[in-house]
Structure 1
Amino acid sequence: MAATDAVRSDLVTPELRRQYRDEGYFVLERALTDEQLDLLRGGAQYSIDRLDAEMDRLGTDRIGINHRGKRYFSNMIYQHRPELQQFLFSDTAAQICRATLGEDAYLFWEQYVIKAGDPETAFAWHQDSGYVHEDHEPYVTVWIALDDVTLDNGPVYLLPYSRSGIKSYVKHITDPATNDRVCYFGSDPGVPMTAPAGSIVVFSSVVMHRSGPNLTDRHRRVYIAQYSKEIITAKDDAATPQGAVDRFLEGGKVVAEF
């Protein structure tokens, strides 16, 4: 077994499975090995540099929901840094997928989410499914803290199913100032997911969530992997994938080649 796979075989307990079913999320505190954490941290600066270079090329300081020097959502980095597949298709990820999706899973999306110290780095209430479309089965988000996440540096806040009353896709509205897609305007602040580095927050793509601003002087780095039961295709075009198409699990067994 590789060092990056030296994890507990009972990572997701029956209690956590039930919590995912009933509330849409669970937390695995300090779940990553030191090797896994170092591996994922290794691509963080590259993800920033890649987006800055693209902004330079386009002569802008904003691309979509990315804002130079403030917040970065840099995706599909594993296609440029293939060593990241050691985690994406690891036993850690397999246990999470089996517990949330079942015996079959595809990698759907991957990205770094990095917030610089800036009061304008908050992110609005949304569902991850709100950045896709309504015609897909809910998928799972694996949100990994690469640094200690505190109330001061921009934690993710979740609205569990019992508090939102929602377990399905809802319509989102685009904020013209930030390009954020927004789906909730209520007063519930959500549950802050503060956790030490190496912890994993696992939640359904239909769980409403937001994140606060980073009010510190250091980056808050997060790595996100998302997995689906089947290939998610573009709206009204079944022939075009919406994201990645890497098959991960088949019949509960890891079939990804890397």
Structure 2
Amino acid sequence: MRAREIAAVAVIVFLGVAALAPGLLAPGDPLAIAPLDAFRPPSLAHFFGTDESGRDIYTRVVHGTGASLLIGIAATAIGLGLAVVFGLLAGFGPRWLDFGTTRLLEVLFAFPGLLFALLFIVVYGPGVVTSTIAVGLSTAPGYARIIRSRVIQVRTSPYLEAALVLGRGGPTRIALHVLPNVAGSLFVLATLGIGQSIVWASSLSYLGLGAVPPAAEWGAMLSAGRTYVTSFWWMTFFPGLFIVLTAVAATLLGRGLQDRIRSS
């Protein structure tokens, strides 16, 4: 394992602990206010400084890990779930269905994903659930194209042709042969997609369309700190740093898994 992959795993382990047991890393209350401690710079008393209400930013960042990761994982699950359906329809269905599904995916893929998410939120209203669904829907076309190409490779393999000769139906072939051989690609896509989904969801929260202050969520913290960014830089720097670290760590881990799958 290379050094960058070790660093990525270390970051993910830290994020996992922060998401599952934030009290171990930051035992304080992320919503507790202390007006007399407002706008304190980073120090031993407040590692990441404090915000306009005197809330400890380190505590809020750690406790916001769970919400941010949950949004990213849920959005990725939605995108991959839809991608599997469209990918199987295009790659395993008849030629006319493949043609129609592929053209639809190309049209959706050509549309900027974040803009599609914004349009979805305009129609259905802002909120954490809406923004999560919007991010999931906007990432699905790209995933579906990758899964379709993988399904087509598996469909033309000798063992799948042998299963057809043995009289196994389409659902059986999909369950026993197609999905197990696509699972590796799905796992890599999920690893890569979580980081992207967190960045997009945080962007929507920054615009006030997802989680809103004073929620301990990274995008909401960025949104709250943008008013003071020129004077109290730490209010946006540390939430943004964790967003970047999460995205980079997930991408490095996904690339490493991808390389191992290709070499195996």
The TM-score normalised by the length of structure 1 is 0.27
- Quick check: which one's helix share is greater? 2
Does 1 or 2 have the higher relative contact order (CA < 8 Å, sep 6+)? 1
Give 1 or 2 for the bigger CA radius of gyration: 2
**More strand, by proportion:** 1
> Structure 2-normalised TM-score?
0.27
